[in-house]
């Protein structure tokens, strides 16, 4: 029992640990009392002179009560071990001058924390820092550990996922990009933001070469919370990827911009379609056969002139690079300035369906003569072969044998020796499953028949 208690504590199994605690209490309280006579016999040798203090039913009830008290204490003042709901953004430290860190897709970590229940309510992603120590390394690709520290004294980090990440150390480049404003939340009294004024309109960004090269703008995220008058605010700049996630390790000069935006009366409601935006290519041998959005339509509102001009709402980009099967990916809507959602939709789910890529191949079908009179035989044909282009899955075509495609020439109408021109049609070809006929040459063939 003690070994199990130690093991469940070490491997962070709080429920199992709690149950074992309960069993231990039952054993400590219940067993000595239930076997009172035996214990006294062992220690005194005179059990008949000793009165049993409590009936067995009372002993069992006391054990159950103590077990319940253990659960209550654990739930109210005990330590909770769980995963922090929000991911922690990874930053880098100790970079050489002129270099920057590119973490690729591993820009965040999940953290499991042990903390008193009274502390858990206040824990957020801001309560922790996740850092990769570059150690002044030269340009290259490295596998490095992630160090997560807690800013809250009573919150202890017990697990990090992933524990290590691949980091590419790249040269730093700079470029000037325009600033765009993204609105988050809603204004009050059926108002929507008009086109904002931004000062300055362009800023300088710097960071890893492979990331900065593809960045087209810096984003000022302005949060709306029921405002009813003109908003003037200093907004910190961020870099966002196509899925609206923050890209770390990008710096801005200046780091903030002044945003001024008027709030105008929203127009009527309007339902428009959701148009998926896809980037990248699936794995070799596949093509995207369909992309559907759920929900497929949304209800929007906004400034009357902008609302009238809005025929559809695009999603933010979803990268499908390398997928090889039907895939579902969540994204958000790319709402134009002056347009807001009239319903509470936080995400759009795109379903990407794939089909095997088709290629074409030139083949020479095996020619088979059907329904030829028993008194006749084929002595020659001109041309001697027929060329056919077939289309299908690249892997199927690669393994296609020479005799798998056949051309059936129906000679039933010819009753005497001679030379005949036989017309070839699509349905004269026999094709394997998954293969279709694209074209063929010639369209007719000369057949010489002779008597047997």
The DSSP H or E segment spanning 73 is helix 56-77
Q: Where are the domains of the chain?
A: 2-77, 82-170, 176-264, 270-356, 359-451
CA distance 66 to 75: 14
Please compute, for residue 229, the number of CA atoms within 13 A of its CA located in the half-sphere on the CB side. 1
What sign does the CA torsion over 137, 141, 147, 151 have?
positive
Q: Does domain 359-451 have CATH number 2.170.120.30?
A: yes
pTM of the complete model beyond 0.75: no
Between CA 28 and CA 37, with CA 31 as vertex, the angle to 5 degrees is 130
CA distance 198 to 285: 46
Between CA 437 and CA 443, with CA 442 as vertex, the angle to 5 degrees is 75
Same CATH fold, 359-451 and 176-264?
A: yes
For the 82-170 domain, the top CATH level (class) is mainly beta
Write the CB contacts of 345 (distance below 8 Å, at least 6 apart in sequence).
295, 298, 333
- Each of the 452 residues of the chain gets a pLDDT tens digit; together they read 445 544 544 444 555 556 656 666 666 655 555 555 655 554 555 545 545 555 656 666 766 676 666 555 555 446 788 899 889 999 899 999 889 888 887 888 999 998 887 788 889 989 999 999 998 899 999 999 999 999 998 899 999 999 999 999 999 999 999 999 988 888 888 788 888 999 999 999 999 998 898 888 999 999 988 888 999 999 999 998 877 778 888 999 999 999 999 988 877 888 999 999 988 888 877 778 789 999 999 998 887 788 888 889 999 888 888 888 899 998 889 888 778 888 878 889 999 988 777 778 888 999 999 999 989 999 999 899 999 888 887 778 888 876 889 999 999 999 899 999 999 988 999 998 878 888 888 888 999 999 98
**Residue closest to 111 by CA, chosen among 135, 136, 90:** 90
Query: Kind of pairing, strands 147-150 and 108-116?
Result: unpaired
Q: Under CATH, which number does the domain 176-264 receive?
A: 2.170.120.40
Query: Kind of pairing, strands 88-93 and 128-133?
Result: parallel
Rounded to the nearest 10 degrees, the angle between the axes of helix 14-34 and helix 56-77 is: 160
The DSSP secondary structure of 234-270, one letter per residue, reads EEEEE-B-TTSPBPSS-EEESSEEEEEE-EEE----E
What φ, ψ does residue 267 adopt, rounded to 5°? -85, -165
What sign does the CA torsion over 100, 106, 112, 115 have?
positive
Structure tokens, 19? 């149950």
Q: Does domain 270-356 have CATH number 2.170.120.40?
A: yes
Q: Which residue has the tokens 């008009």?
A: 194
What sign does the CA torsion over 384, 387, 388, 394 have?
positive
């Amino acid at each position: 029992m003690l070994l199990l208690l130690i093991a469940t504590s070490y491997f962070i199994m709080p429920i199992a640990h709690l149950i074992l605690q309960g069993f231990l209490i039952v054993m400590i309280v219940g067993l000595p009392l239930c076997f009172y006579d035996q214990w006294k016999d062992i220690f005194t040798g005179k059990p008949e002179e000793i009165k049993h203090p409590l009936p067995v039913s009372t002993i069992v009830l006391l054990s159950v009560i103590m077990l319940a008290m253990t659960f209550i204490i654990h739930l109210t003042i005990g330590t909770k071990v769980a995963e922090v709901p929000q991911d922690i953004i990874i930053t880098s430290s100790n970079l050489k001058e002129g270099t920057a860190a590119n973490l690729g897709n591993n820009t965040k970590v999940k953290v499991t924390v042990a903390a008193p229940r009274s502390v858990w309510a206040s824990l957020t992603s801001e309560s922790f820092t996740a850092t990769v120590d570059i150690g002044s390394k030269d340009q290259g690709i490295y596998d490095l550990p992630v160090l997560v520290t807690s800013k809250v004294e009573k919150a202890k980090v017990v697990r990090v996922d992933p524990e290590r990440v691949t980091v590419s150390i790249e040269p730093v480049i700079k470029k000037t990009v325009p600033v765009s404003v993204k609105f988050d939340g809603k204004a009050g009294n059926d108002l929507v933001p008009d086109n904002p004024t931004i000062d300055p309109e362009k800023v300088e960004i710097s960071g890893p070469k492979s990331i900065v090269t593809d960045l087209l703008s810096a984003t000022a995220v302005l949060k709306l919370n029921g405002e009813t008058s003109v908003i003037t605010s200093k907004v910190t700049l961020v870099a966002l990827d196509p899925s609206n996630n923050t890209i770390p390790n990008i710096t801005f000069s200046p780091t903030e911009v002044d945003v001024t935006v008027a709030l105008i009366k929203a127009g009527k409601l309007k339902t428009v379609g959701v148009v998926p935006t896809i980037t990248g290519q699936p794995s070799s041998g596949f093509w995207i056969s369909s992309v559907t959005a759920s929900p497929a339509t949304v209800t929007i509102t906004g400034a009357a002139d902008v609302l009238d001009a809005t025929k559809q709402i695009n999603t933010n980009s979803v990268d499908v690079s390398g997928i090889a099967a039907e895939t579902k990916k969540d994204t958000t809507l790319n709402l134009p300035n002056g347009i807001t959602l009239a319903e509470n939709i936080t995400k759009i789910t795109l379903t990407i369906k794939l089909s095997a890529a088709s290629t074409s191949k030139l083949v020479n079908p095996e020619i088979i003569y059907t329904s030829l009179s028993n008194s006749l035989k084929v002595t020659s044909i001109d041309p001697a072969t027929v060329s056919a282009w077939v289309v299908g899955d690249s892997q199927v075509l690669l393994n296609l044998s020479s005799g798998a495609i056949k051309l059936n020439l129906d000679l039933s109408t010819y009753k005497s020796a001679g030379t005949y021109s036989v017309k070839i049609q699509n349905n004269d070809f026999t094709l394997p499953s998954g293969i279709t006929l694209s074209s063929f040459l010639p369209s007719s063939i000369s057949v010489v028949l002779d008597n047997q």
